[in-house]
Every structure is written in C-alpha cells, then in structure tokens.
Chains A and B, each alone.
Chain A
Amino acid sequence: MVYIGEDREDYIIKSIVMRMLPPREINKMARVTITRPELYESDGSPVPGGPRDPHFGAIEPGEICPVCGNTREHCPGHFGRLELARPVIVPYYSDHIYYMLQATCRVCGRLLLPQEKIDRYKIILKKLKKRWPLLAEAFLKEVRKEAAATMECPHCKSRQFKIRYIRPILFYEERPEGETRLTPIDIRERLEAIRDDELELLGMDPEKNRPEWAVISTLPVPPLAVRPPITLETGLKSEDDLTHALVEIIRQNKRLSNLIESSAPETMIEDAWLALQFVIAAYIDNELPNIYPLTHKSQRMMKTLAQRLKGKEGRLRGNLSGKRVNFSSRTVISPDPNIGINEVGVPVEVAKVLTFPMRVTPYNIEEARRYVLNGPYKWPGATFVYKKRTGKQIDLRFQRNYKQLAESLEVGDIVERHMIDGDVVLFNRQPSLHRMSILAHKVRVMPYKTFRLNPLVCPPYNADFDGDEMNLHLMRSQEARAEAEELLLVEKHIRTPRYGGPIIGGRQDYVSGAYLLTVKNRLLTEKEVIDLLGAAGYKGELPEPAILAPRKLWTGKQIVSLFLPDDFNYTGRAKINSGPLACDSIDCLHDSYIAINRGKLLIGVFDKAAIGAEVPENVLHKIALEYGDAKARELLDTMYKMFIRMLDLRGLTISLSDIDIPREAREEIQKLIREAKTEIEKLISDYRAGRLEPIPGRTLEETLEQKIIGRLNSLFSEAGKTATKYMDPFNDVFVMAKTGARGSEVNITQMVALLGQQVVRGKRVSRGFRTRTLAHFKPGDLSPEAKGFVKGNFRYGLRPTEVFFHAAAGREGLVDTAVKTSQSGYMQRRLMNAEQDLYVAYDGTVRDSYGHLVQVRYGEDGADPMATYHGKAVNVDRLIEMYGEIRESTNHR
C-alpha cells in the first residue's frame, strides 16, 4: 500500500524525459482491467470492470480506495487498461510511423542505405548533435529522404513499394497488383524488425523508444480523478466527456471481439476494426482530420484529451502559464489633474486590504506602534503582527487589546501594515501591449471608490474615463519596490523606448489651455497671474509686467517662461502653422513659429506641437532629453496645471452657435455645390455620349469615376475653406481643431458645410440594389447624390438617403477595427513568443537563450532608442541650435 502523507520525501527534478509509453509500463501501472461498457448497476453501485470501477481511485468524500487504502485526499488515482481485440495506431505517432515505413525495408526491416553509408552517417550525426542540433535535424531529414527514395533494399535485395499515408491513421502500399491497405498488425511487424542501431538515423533514440510502441494493443485508461463525474442538484450523476469517450471505445472493442469470436466474415471484422481505430483517434484528439468526431446526443463535440490541453483555455495556456496574484486590486479609474503624474489615488477601502510586511527597526518602532494601535479597521492600521521571539502570527481582527500588543512590539517583529501614502505600486491597464502598460506609481490614499489618475498619464495606458478599469499591485519587498521605482516610475517613461519621442504629454484641454494662455492677445491682471501661478505651485517673485500702465498686465508667454530652464533654446513650428497661418522662420506675424531663447518664450504659441503627447521633438521632449526626466516631470506637475487653470479662468465650451455661419456663407457653399454638380453632370453626359477621353491605363468607367471623385473632393475642401473663413478665430470649436486639441478641419467642415462623399470599400457607395444603391434613384444613376455624396451637414441635418449612406460608411469603420484588433493581436502574440528570450549581452551583442548570435550590435548602432532623438542617435541640427545663437532665419529641416 502506498500512503502519500505528511512525511513525504522531497526531490529535485533534474530533467524530464518525454517518450512513448511502453506496453510493459501500461501493464505495470494498470490496477484494473476494463471489460464492460456499463457504468453503474441498477442499484447505483459502480460496475466492476467498467469505466467507473472503484479501483480507478477514491473520489467520493469518505470513500476508501481499494488499491491504496487512502481516502480521496491522499489517493493519487490509479490507471486501468483495456485489452484491445486488435492493435491500433496511436494518431500522433503516425507521422513517425510513415517515415519509418518509407525508410526501411518491407522485408528485412533494415535502413534502405548501403552499409558503408550507414556507418558514415552515424559518425556525422554524432558530431552534428554535439554542436549543431538544428543541423542534425536537417541532416536526418536528408538521410530519410535518401533512404525513402531507394526502391531496392541494399541488404536483402527485395523490391520496395511506395507508401501512401492518409492522415491520421490510414496507410496503403502501392504494390504492382494494386493498392493494399496496411493494417496495424502489418505495420507493427515491420516496425518490430527495425534494428536498434539504425533507429538513431531514423531520428529515434533506441534507449528511450521502440517504434512498435506506436501501435498499441493495450489502451491505458486514466484514473477517475482525471475524469471525475459530477453530481447535479437533482442527484443525477453526469459523467465526464472522457468517460463517455471510453464507453464508446469499450463498445467498439466488444463488438470487434464478438465478431472475431463468432468468426464473422473478414470484411465485417475489418470494418469494426477500423471503427475502433477511429474512436481511439477521436479519444486522443477529436479535431483530427478525416475522422468521425465523437459527439453527444445533441451533436456537441466531446472534449477529449487533446482538447483539454490545446488553446487559450487549455491546460497549458490557461492553467500553467496563466498566473494569478494576491495583493492586487481592480476598480474604475477617474481623472484627477491635481495629483502628480507619479501618483495614483487609491481608495481607503483598498488601502486597508493591500498590506505591506514592515520589519520593525529601532528607527520605525514608534511608527509601527501607531499602526498596531489603529487596528485593522482604521486607516492607517495593521492587520497582522509576526512576533520574532515566539514565531507566532497574531491576527489583529481577533485581538481586543491593541495597546498591549503595540507595547510588546520589538525590533525584528514584522507588522503587516496598511498601504500608506508614498508606497510604490504597480499600475496596469489591459491590453498590456507595451512596457508602458505597467508603470510604478506612488500611492495617495483618498476617499471614494475609484483609482485616481493624472490625465497626463492616459497616453501610455491608452486610458480614458468612460468606465475603464485598471489593476493595482502592491509590492511586498523592499527590493521589488526599489527596482520598480528606479525602472518603472511614470517619469522614467515620459519618453517611449519605441523611438524616443515623448509618450506622456498634453492632450485635449491641456492643448487648448496652453494655446489660450500663450496667444498674443492674452494679457493677464495681477490677480489672474497669481491665480495661475498658484495652481502651478510656483514659488518665487513675479516677473516685471509687460505693461505697467494704466495697470499692470502680464502676457501669457511671460508666465509660461517662468517654468522653462534658464539656458533652454528652442525653435520650431507650432501646430497652427499651416494654411493662412504658415511661417517658416521666427519672422512670423501669425505667432505660429515658436522661439525660446534662454528660457524665454519670445514668439509662438504653445499648442499640440509644443506640449502634446506623442509629438516627437517638441518642447517637452527636448527638456526631458536635455534636462532629465525629473525636470520634465516637474514641468508636467506645474506648468501643465496652469494650462488647465487657464481654461477655468476663460471657460471652454461649444454650442450650436459655434458651428453656425452667416447666411451669405451658406449661400456661397450652396453655390460651390451647384457649380460642382453642373460640372459633374457635364462629365456624365460626355461619358454617355462617348465623348469622354479615358486616362491612359484606365477604362472609360474608371476614368469617369476618378474624375467625379476628384471634383467632389475639391468641392469638399473648398467648402471647408469657405466655412472656416467665416468662423470666429476664437470660436472654441475652431480653437480646438486648429491647436490639435480635438477634432480636425474635416470634422468642422462636416458640421458646418457638408458631409461629403461617403466611401465603402474605397469606392463611392455602389452596392444595395442591382443597378442602384437605393430605390429612391433611377437604375444606373451615376450622379453624386445616388452614389453616396452627402450635401447635408450635421448642423442642419441630413436627408433620409444621406443618413443611410453615412451609416453604411460608418459601419465599415466598425467592422475594420473589430477585424484588425483580432488579427494584429494574434500577430503580436506570435512575435512576442518568438522574441521573448532575446537579450542584449554585456558585450553589446544580441543573443538568444542558447547564446547564439542574433545581432553583432544591438540595433546595429548599439543605441538605446529611448535616449535618441526620434531614432537618430545624434541630432546635428539640434546641437547647432543649442550651442549657436538663434539666427535671423532658422531655415533648417
């Protein structure tokens, strides 16, 4: 009897050998032989010799195992066996069987190569295996190919025939008298004849495997613990899919042995034998090709052995590499622009559950006592105390006298204290596509029930606040927090390691606010300046006001400059630098070319191009590069707060009136539409009359289509220009689009002027009815309206047909994103698995886990992309700019 109990011995696993299960072992481990397909007797007890035989191990509570004498807690479960009436091929081995049959003699079982070659190849193989394991595999393949191509045995001179193999279990031999099926018995005979010393040239280790083991005549039956029956509430037993599959195998086996015993005609026996093979193949993998899958009565596929292991929810990916952790927490996130970017707001409820084991030292013993005094329910308290002296663990939930416990604390004890302000935690949002998807934050314990996140840190997580949830993990050792703080802190990821550009930075309101603060006409009173600087937490003197009389006024640029480093120089275009506001030097009347000299913003507005997220080579990026991440963080925690405060002062809001334009503007747009329409009508009539000249390489239809689309596109942009011409430049919709805060020129045009051409599959809308898009149009109508051109706008509404076209084009976008995410997700998974073990060695080379060379120098230039200027290791232009004076016309780029 085996008893697995408390006093077991522990071993260290040195290696695992995977091999075929030898028949000897199958018999050795079997504790019961199965003969009957029935599960239970009529009285409900398990049938002896059935798939539920008690010898498979104890699984009911209180049941004593008849094999090992243990209850179900300690019974490991025992295998049984099923004697098959005829042998059967194991499906996953059949590819190897095929290779063996091809490469060996059908009569004498020798490898189909002359003796000298066999000897030579053995030596080569031995050498290759030592140094070039991958080459050894390729070599074996070549050997196999050469042997398979031999049509006469060099040893016994008998003729060989081609083998045909239909996955997963059928083999045929193409003999001159016709194709003959090879039964598992034939195959086993041939495999048995293969010599041990030739096996290694066939890719099999003779010390571990014998090829004939791939054909089994005893099927191992797994213990009940592997296929436990479940008891439903109704008291009915429901069996596992594996048990059902086994019952099916036993039935087929029984049928076959009955046929053999009653000496039925050979064809019937053959059929039953084949059926048994198929059932066993399905028992191993129900998704094999060319088999009849096992199903329930409801046609639902059974989950057999391979299905348990395969796929995302299978044993490997779902259970073995799927990790779960303690001391983690998940809740909705909400924005808090008042906390720092390195911080995260944590609800008190969470802080009281996630605890840190704090070792008591002479320096923190008073602090530790305070936590113990507060107990487990009052923050900041403690939940457990581990006494060093007694080795006891004290649960504060069952402790009345906190005071006594606090006094008894001594150096060396461990206090399991609540999470407190300043603790370093990991914060994560799925999908974790990046290393920036998990960053370290410092805790700020706050009331209410959401995690609070500075909106500046949204871009790395790709988070918004429409219900997103995030995960938080508390690290329970000093080493872990130190490592996280050094490597994963938010401020160390202002620049992305992908190309070195800033990934953290202003979005939306930060951009609008920065623009409105730094525009030329912004003059601030003393009160406003103090308010703004207060929001930023500025400490220091106010600068000399730009205007002294009749009252003191400061420009926004002056205020912003207070935060820039004194020796910081910068020139570059603002986002608004386009269209009528374009400039390419600091002689810019539109304030759209930024110049900072010695830390003073001289000209240009701050907008997305200066302070935005994911905009390489902007002001923030250069400060992070040249003054360090800490300085950039300081800017994000001070100057950026001012941008938001600027919006509080001025207000930023949009309404219908913002997308309304004067009557004459609307009439002008209508006129443009009419003009385009007549031109297109002309094109269509030319086409119908055969007067249209085709563009070279295009058909007449394509030419017409292209010309119409071209004209409609120019109409759209003309209409957009007309509309913006009439809009107030300080209209908030316009400000947001221009500065890159939100929306674009196209959005404005669609709201104010017209929606334009709706596109499905890259073409004008053309599908629906047979020769037209909708029943509202005549068959064959080629006019813009009939093919998805929308004249209406969001301000004044769309016509019914226009709504339909718009919806059709909108749906395409949704479908595309759904398809793209699944496909790119799978691609990324495969890339990650392929590359995860590569590393940069200390000599600068890139190696794989075998130490094989992948790159001679990391990235070929050895540069850390995070520290580069947008991928370039050295930026000469910037060096000149930093150390030379700003020239009259900085015309680089």
Chain B
Amino acid sequence: MPSKTRSKKRIDYRILEHELVPQHRVLSFEEAVEVLKRLGVKPHQLPRISINDPVVRLLGAKPGDIIEIKRRSPTAGEATYYRIVVVF
C-alpha cells in the first residue's frame, strides 16, 4: 500500500469518552449483511470513513468493515448511521 496509512502514533483512548464523539461500533459480518440488506445498498454506496480516523484506529477496524455510529439528533433523539472503512 502507498505510504502513510496508519501512522504509528498512538491515540489517546479517552477520545471515546468525549461527549462530542458519538458512539462507534464495528459490525460483525452477519450484522453487516443484515444492514446492507435493510438499507438496500451495496457497500460502495455507503458513506465512507477513513481508516486513519482516530476512532476507527482505536477500534482496530479493517478496510471493508462497516461501522455503526449512533449520533444525537435534534429531530429524532438518536440517529444511527453506517459508514464503510476505506483506506484513504
């Protein structure tokens, strides 16, 4: 792979506890298949998240993993989003 993906610099795990960082979770394969089916999308149609994203690095997700993000929403209280991990 080209340079500079996954720099070795350590990330402070406390960012996960920060109130502005929504809850991220890596979906298992079965869950991912279910989500894709429910949304009626192929993986490449999902919004992306970089593998260099600090939270993704802390979770240790691999390219192609789907991350579930639970955000606070002014309209719906809580909203669930899905993003696919990509290399850049």
B49 to chain A, nearest CB (A): 12
Q: Which of B6-14, B17-25, B78-86 contacts A (4 or more CB under 8 A)?
A: B78-86
Q: Does B40 contact A (CB under 8 A)?
A: yes
**Contact across chains for B79 and A860 when beta carbons are under 8 A apart:** yes
Question: Chain A residues with Cβ under 8 A from B2's Cβ?
Answer: 139, 142-143, 145-146
**Contact across chains for B79 and A853 when beta carbons are under 8 A apart:** no
Interface range on chain B (Cβ under 8 Å from partner): 20 to 34
Q: Name the contact of A860 in the complex, choosing from B39, B44, B48, B76 (C-beta under 8 A).
A: B76
User: B-facing mask of A847-885, CB < 8 A → 1, else 0?
Assistant: 000111110110111010000000101000000000000
A139 to B5, CA, bound (A): 11
A149 to chain B, nearest CB (A): 8
**Contact across chains for A856 and B79 when beta carbons are under 8 A apart:** yes
Q: Name the contact of A856 in the complex, choosing from B42, B82, B87 (C-beta under 8 A).
A: B82
B62 to chain A, nearest CB (A): 16
Question: Chain B residues with Cβ under 8 A from A138's Cβ?
Answer: 88
A850 to B79, CA, bound (A): 23
Question: Which residue from chain B places its CB closest to the CB of A149 in the assembled complex?
Answer: B3
Question: Chain B residues with Cβ under 8 A from A861's Cβ?
Answer: 73, 75-76
Q: Name the contact of A853 in the complex, choosing from B4, B41, B75, B76 (C-beta under 8 A).
A: B41
**Contact across chains for A857 and B47 when beta carbons are under 8 A apart:** no
Q: Does A448 contact B (CB under 8 A)?
A: no
B69 to chain A, nearest CB (A): 10
A128 to B73, CA, bound (A): 34
Q: Does A731 contact B (CB under 8 A)?
A: no
Question: Chain A residues with Cβ under 8 A from B46's Cβ?
Answer: 852-853
User: A-facing mask of B28-66, CB < 8 A → 1, else 0?
Assistant: 000000000001111011111000000000000000000
Q: Name the contact of A132 in the complex, choosing from B44, B47, B73, B79 (C-beta under 8 A).
A: B44
**Contact across chains for B88 and A853 when beta carbons are under 8 A apart:** no
With contacts A135-B88, A139-B88, A145-B2 taken as known, whether A860 is within 8 angstroms of B75 at the C-beta atoms is yes
Question: Chain A residues with Cβ under 8 A from B88's Cβ?
Answer: 135, 138-139, 142
**Contact across chains for B81 and A856 when beta carbons are under 8 A apart:** yes
A399 to chain B, nearest CB (A): 60
B73 to chain A, nearest CB (A): 4
With contacts A142-B3, A863-B75 taken as known, whether A851 is within 8 angstroms of B82 at the C-beta atoms is no
Question: Chain A residues with Cβ under 8 A from B86's Cβ?
Answer: 132, 135
Residues of A106-149 whose CB lies within 8 A of B: 131-132, 135, 138-139, 142-143, 145-146, 149
A731 to chain B, nearest CB (A): 44
Question: Which residue from chain A places its CB closest to the CB of B50 in the assembled complex?
Answer: A138
**Contact across chains for A145 and B3 when beta carbons are under 8 A apart:** yes
Question: Which residue from chain A places its CB closest to the CB of B80 in the assembled complex?
Answer: A856
User: B-facing mask of A495-537, CB < 8 A → 1, else 0?
Assistant: 0000000000000000000000000000000000000000000
A541 to chain B, nearest CB (A): 47
Question: Chain B residues with Cβ under 8 A from A667's Cβ?
Answer: none
B58 to chain A, nearest CB (A): 23
Question: Chain A residues with Cβ under 8 A from B42's Cβ?
Answer: 131
**Contact across chains for A853 and B73 when beta carbons are under 8 A apart:** no
Question: Chain B residues with Cβ under 8 A from A257's Cβ?
Answer: none
Question: Chain B residues with Cβ under 8 A from A871's Cβ?
Answer: 75
A511 to chain B, nearest CB (A): 32
A868 to chain B, nearest CB (A): 9
Question: Chain A residues with Cβ under 8 A from B82's Cβ?
Answer: 853, 856
Question: Chain A residues with Cβ under 8 A from B45's Cβ?
Answer: 850-853
B67 to chain A, nearest CB (A): 13
Q: Does A843 contact B (CB under 8 A)?
A: yes
A778 to chain B, nearest CB (A): 54
Q: Name the contact of B39 in the complex, choosing from A139, A142, A845, A873 (C-beta under 8 A).
A: A845
Question: Chain B residues with Cβ under 8 A from A143's Cβ?
Answer: 2
Question: Chain B residues with Cβ under 8 A from A132's Cβ?
Answer: 44, 86
B23 to chain A, nearest CB (A): 15
Question: Chain B residues with Cβ under 8 A from A135's Cβ?
Answer: 48, 86-88
A149 to B4, CA, bound (A): 13
**Contact across chains for B79 and A857 when beta carbons are under 8 A apart:** yes
Question: Which residue from chain A places its CB closest to the CB of B45 in the assembled complex?
Answer: A852
Question: Chain B residues with Cβ under 8 A from A856's Cβ?
Answer: 39, 79-82
With contacts A142-B88, A145-B3 taken as known, whether A853 is within 8 angstroms of B39 at the C-beta atoms is yes
**Contact across chains for A857 and B76 when beta carbons are under 8 A apart:** yes
**Contact across chains for A859 and B75 when beta carbons are under 8 A apart:** yes
**Contact across chains for B76 and A843 when beta carbons are under 8 A apart:** no
Question: Which residue from chain A places its CB closest to the CB of B47 in the assembled complex?
Answer: A853
B66 to chain A, nearest CB (A): 12
**Contact across chains for B75 and A873 when beta carbons are under 8 A apart:** yes
**Contact across chains for A146 and B47 when beta carbons are under 8 A apart:** no
B85 to chain A, nearest CB (A): 12
Question: Chain B residues with Cβ under 8 A from A853's Cβ?
Answer: 39, 41, 45-47, 82
**Contact across chains for B3 and A146 when beta carbons are under 8 A apart:** yes
Question: Chain A residues with Cβ under 8 A from B44's Cβ?
Answer: 131-132, 852
User: B-facing mask of A832-851, CB < 8 A → 1, else 0?
Assistant: 00000000000101000011
Most buried by A among B2, B39, B48, B80: B2
A132 to B43, CA, bound (A): 10
Question: Chain A residues with Cβ under 8 A from B75's Cβ?
Answer: 859-861, 863, 871, 873
Question: Which residue from chain A places its CB closest to the CB of B81 in the assembled complex?
Answer: A856
Question: Chain A residues with Cβ under 8 A from B41's Cβ?
Answer: 851, 853
Q: Name the contact of A843 in the complex, choosing from B40, B79, B87 (C-beta under 8 A).
A: B40
A876 to chain B, nearest CB (A): 14
Question: Chain A residues with Cβ under 8 A from B87's Cβ?
Answer: 135, 139
A764 to B3, CA, bound (A): 57
A873 to B45, CA, bound (A): 29
A498 to chain B, nearest CB (A): 14
A845 to B39, CA, bound (A): 8
A859 to B88, CA, bound (A): 28
Instruction: For the A-B complex with A860-B73, A860-B75 known, give 6 more contacts whose Cβ atoms are closer than 8 Å.
Output: A146-B2, A850-B45, A851-B41, A857-B76, A861-B76, A871-B75
A-binding residues in B (CB < 8 A)? 2-4, 39-42, 44-48, 73, 75-76, 79-82, 86-88
Q: Could you list 14 examples of A-B contacts with CB < 8 Å?
A: A131-B42, A135-B87, A142-B3, A143-B2, A145-B3, A146-B2, A146-B3, A149-B3, A856-B39, A856-B79, A856-B81, A857-B79, A859-B75, A871-B75
